[in-house]
Amino acid sequence: MSEHFKNEPVANLPDIATTPFQKIDRNYFKVISINFFLITLFICIGIFLLQQFVFSESILQYNIYEFLGVIVFSSILYTYFFLAFPKRKYALREKDISYKSGLLFLKTTTVPFSRIQHVETDEKPISRIFKLASLSVFTAGDSSDDLLIKGIKKQEALKIKEFISSKINA
């Protein structure tokens, strides 16, 4: 298996700091927004039901503040998502794939093709409306936080998957 693996040496590897990164599809922010809106809506409905059927009189006088709290909290979170969105970038090089994200906590991950065990693409219901997909890459060992790129065009994701697969099996 791995004994027969050939990987031609590269002369000079480009610097990760100067590698051009590509932003993920702009439509994916719509997906985030819809998801976000749905979750907030569910929480609000939940609170409303609790108020109607469960809460006692003493809590009921804070009704408006509960909704206000949820809305303030979610709008802060939404702003963070909005600002952090342009930071989600990925780069495909000849021998590896990289992803970086984060506004307050910047993270950059690179997985060399020669260590990839398998690649997966999947489409969540709302992403499918916008023809978007996510690409996950698994390596050996504790595979909990390998590479996951959400929100790239479906054809693009499939193309990358094909590309990586051909590299693994080469």
Partner 1 sequence: MHNSYTFTEYSKQSPKGIFIIYVAEIYRAIKLFWIFLFILFKDFSKFSSYGVIYIYIGVSLLLLLLFLRAYLIYINFQYKIEHQHFILKKGIFKKTLVEIPFHRIQNINFKQNIVQQVIGVFEISIETAGSKDIEIAIKALSLEKAEALKATITQGQKLVNEVVKEEDLEPIVKISFFDLLRVSLTENHLQNLFLFFAIVIGFFNQIQQIYDSFGQSEALDGYISESTSNLSASVVLVAILVILLTVIALLSSFVKVVLIHFNLSAYLKDDAFEINQGLLTKKSIVLKKQKIQNVTISTNPLKRLIGISFITFKQAVSGKVNNKKKEKLIRLVGCKKEQIEIVKKSVFHELSVEKSAKQHPDSYYKKRLFFWSVLFLLICYTVIFYFINHIEVFYSLFVTIPVTILLLLKKVKKRCYQISEEMLIVGKGLLETHVTYLDIFKVQHIKIKQSIFQKRSNVADLVLQTASGKIQIPCIAYQEAIKIYNHTLYKVETSNAPWM
CA distance 156 to 162: 10
CB nearer to partner 1: pick between 74 and 108: 108
CB nearer to partner 1: pick between 36 and 138: 138
CA distance 58 to 84: 40
Binding site for partner 1 (CB under 8 A): 1-3, 5-7, 9-10, 13, 15-17, 95-96, 103-115, 139-144, 146-147
CB nearer to partner 1: pick between 57 and 142: 142
Minimum CB distance to partner 1, residue 130 (Å)? 29
CB nearer to partner 1: pick between 35 and 108: 108
Q: Which residues contact 149 (CB under 8 A, 6 or more apart)?
A: 24, 90, 99, 134, 135, 136
Minimum CB distance to partner 1, residue 108 (Å)? 5
Minimum CB distance to partner 1, residue 24 (Å)? 18
Number of CB atoms found within 10 A of residue 68's CB: 11
Phi, psi (deg, nearest 5) at residue 26: -65, -30
Q: Can you say whether the dihedral through the CA atoms of 144, 146, 149, 154 is positive or negative? A: negative
Phi, psi (deg, nearest 5) at residue 104: -85, -35
Minimum CB distance to partner 1, residue 32 (Å)? 22
CB nearer to partner 1: pick between 47 and 148: 148
Minimum CB distance to partner 1, residue 144 (Å)? 7
